[in-house]
Structure 1
Amino acid sequence: MKAEVGDRLVLEGTRPGSHRRVGVITGLHHDDGSPPYDVHWLDQDHDCLVFPGPDAHIEHPATGRQRG
Structure 2
Amino acid sequence: MNASVGDRLLVHGHVVGQADRTGEIIEVRGPDGSPPYLVRFDDGHETLVYPGPDAIIEPQEV
CA-CA distance at 1:16 after TM superposition: 1.6
Q: Secondary structure at the match of 2:46?
A: strand
**TM-score, length of structure 1 as denominator length:** 0.83
* Unmatched tracts of structure 2, length 5 or more: none
Identity %: 47
Q: Which residues in structure 2 correspond to 1:17-32 (within 5 Å)?
A: 17-32=17-32
Structure 1 runs (4+) greater than 4 angstroms displaced = none
> TM-score, normalised to structure 2's length?
0.90
Provide the C-alpha distance between the structure 1 equivalents of 2:35 and 2:60, rounded to a whole number of angstroms. Answer: 18
Code of the residue aligned with 1:3 in structure 2: it is A
Matching residue's letter, 1:6 = G
CA RMSD of aligned residues (A): 1.3
